[in-house]
Amino acid sequence: MINLCLGIGLWLGIVRGLVSGFPAVPVNPPPESGESLSVGAAAMPAPSALLDLSDEELFRFVQSDQASLGSVSIGAPGGGILLNPVPLQADPGLNIVSAEGAFGTAETMEFVHASVAAVGRLFPGTPPISIGDISFEAGGRMKRHVTHQSGRDVDFGLYYKSGAQYGFISGTAANLDLPRNWALVRSLLAFTDIETILLDAGIQRLLYAYALKIGEDKDWLDQVFQVGKGSAKAVVVHVAGHRTHYHVRFYNRVAQELGRRVYPQLVKLERVKPPVYSVPHYVRNGETLGHLARRYGTSVRSIQQYNGLPGTIIRAGRTLRIPLRGVSAPALARIVVPARLLPPSTPEILTGIEWPAASSGQL
């Protein structure tokens, strides 16, 4: 939980009607609406309490005690920064592959631990799963990724029949532990706020078939997986290069909304620099990197570095990401997190923990 000790009586008087910003997890649920957590003699309001402040009050808060904002996700996954980062903590259920790239928001870290813990409770003796890149400590660009910039993207490894693997290995019908892998996907959907999961279509098919076999609802699965009916709104979608891991992107109810609101204030105070944003460009016949650099006001070298291009030759039909420097954060509306896609029923093999129930008419 984020340490948001206000420290001064003024802000304790401002904050009213506290509502926890973290979703429920099956083991230690957050405080009920209106509750605060006590630490010693001081009361720590839930992070979402800050969202009740006016822009003027929030600006004064940023000026006086920026650290007490807690972790803040600013910008987009492909062009953003991370304020007041939280490192992924050691956990028997996971292996941290790269500590330098294992920073994110508090909400993201809560989601990682909650989903992994659910698998462990369902299947005692589950070996640790590898957790790869999340974000750097300050967010921003990772050379090995286009996204992972704002503390909300997490690379989860796979569960294998052979046990723990440190790192990422391609998943196949022969080596995947399907019960545990399906439990992870189901836990992510039930206990966290998922924006999308990027996963190779071949592994999707294996999980889809396994879930059907154990009695999961087919209509629900067709909303979860792109390989079912090929729904454009599916949560789990195919992107090449994701046969060794799940690329999970979370919504952050508090960190994203705080990021949207405080970003202009932080820039005004010269606390942060505008992040690098990128736009997609579909390469057409005859276009060169020089043409693209002049069109978008950037440099050939920047385009090369951002897309990992070893040379200057580009082929028609490819989509490149063009970095735009000095661009202000987009004026986004208040973040609205959709309802979780909850299963309508639970197969007997998965009844070892309490699952949240789908609301009537959700499917």
Distance CA 126, CA 16 (A): 43
More confident residue, 31 or 143: 143
What's the pLDDT band for 116 if we cut at 50, 70, 90? very high
- Write the CB contacts of 183 (distance below 8 Å, at least 6 apart in sequence): 118, 119, 122, 123, 350
How far lies 212's CA from each of 112, 119, 182, 221, in Å? 25, 19, 11, 8
Among 135-149, 164-178, 196-210, the minimum mean pLDDT is found in: 135-149
At 143 the pLDDT is: 78
Distance CA 267, CA 274 (A): 7
What's the pLDDT band for 78 if we cut at 50, 70, 90? confident
Domain at 277-324: CATH code: 3.10.350.10
What's the pLDDT band for 25 if we cut at 50, 70, 90? very low
At 346 the pLDDT is: 96
At 269 the pLDDT is: 87
Domains 83-251 and 277-324 share a fold: no
User: What does the domain layout of the chain look like in residue ranges?
Assistant: 9-71+253-268, 83-251, 277-324
Provide mean pLDDT across the span 180-196: 97
Structure tokens at 13: 């008087």
Q: Cβ atoms within 10 A of the Cβ of 167, count?
A: 11
Rg (Cα) of the chain, in Å, rounded? Answer: 22
Indicate if the pLDDT at residue 176 is higher than 60: yes
* 231-235, 248-252, 288-292, 323-327: range with highest mean pLDDT: 248-252
More confident residue, 273 or 245: 245
At 323 the pLDDT is: 84
What's the pLDDT band for 4 if we cut at 50, 70, 90? very low
Four-residue CA torsion sign, 68, 69, 70, 75: negative
Indicate if the pLDDT at residue 10 is higher than 70: no
What's the pLDDT band for 15 if we cut at 50, 70, 90? very low
Which candidate, 201, 202, 210, 153, places its Cα nearest to that of 181? 210
Indicate if the pLDDT at residue 28 is higher than 50: no
3-class SS letters over the chain: CCCCCCCCHHHHHHCCCCCCCCCCCCCCCCCCCCCCEEECCEEECCHHHHHHCCHHHHHHHHHHCHHHHCCEEEEECCEEEEECCEECCCECCEEECCHHHEEECHHHHHHHHHHHHHHHHHCCCCCCEEECCCECCCECCCCCCCCCCCCCEEEECCCECCCCCCCCCCCCCCCECHHHHHHHHHHHHHHCCEEEEECCHHHHHHHHHHHHHCCCCHHHHHHHECCCCCCCCCCEECCCCCCCCEEEEECCHHHHHHHHHHHHHHHHCCCCCCCCEEEEEECCCCCCHHHHHHHHCCCHHHHHHHHCCCCCCCCCCCEEEEEECCCCCCCCCCCCCCCCCCCCCCCHHHCCCCCCCCCCCCC
- Write the CB contacts of 204 (distance below 8 Å, at least 6 apart in sequence): 225, 226, 227, 236, 238
Among 21-25, 72-76, 359-363, the minimum mean pLDDT is found in: 21-25
At 329 the pLDDT is: 58
Indicate if the pLDDT at residue 282 is higher than 80: yes
Size of the chain in residues = 363
Measure the N-to-C terminal CA separation of the chain; round to a whole number of Å: 32
> Position 302: which residue type?
S
- CATH 3.40.50.300 matches 83-251: no
At 330 the pLDDT is: 56
Q: Above pLDDT 90, what percent of the chain? A: 53
**Residue found by looking up tokens 């699965």 in the block:** 221
Which candidate, 154, 65, 56, 59, places its Cα nearest to that of 105? 154
Distance CA 251, CA 288 (A): 37
Provide mean pLDDT across the span 5-22: 30
Q: Above pLDDT 70, what percent of the chain? A: 82
Distance CA 104, CA 310 (A): 30
Which candidate, 172, 164, 165, 185, places its Cα nearest to that of 122? 185
Please, are residues 254 and 193 in contact by the beta-carbon 8 Å criterion? no
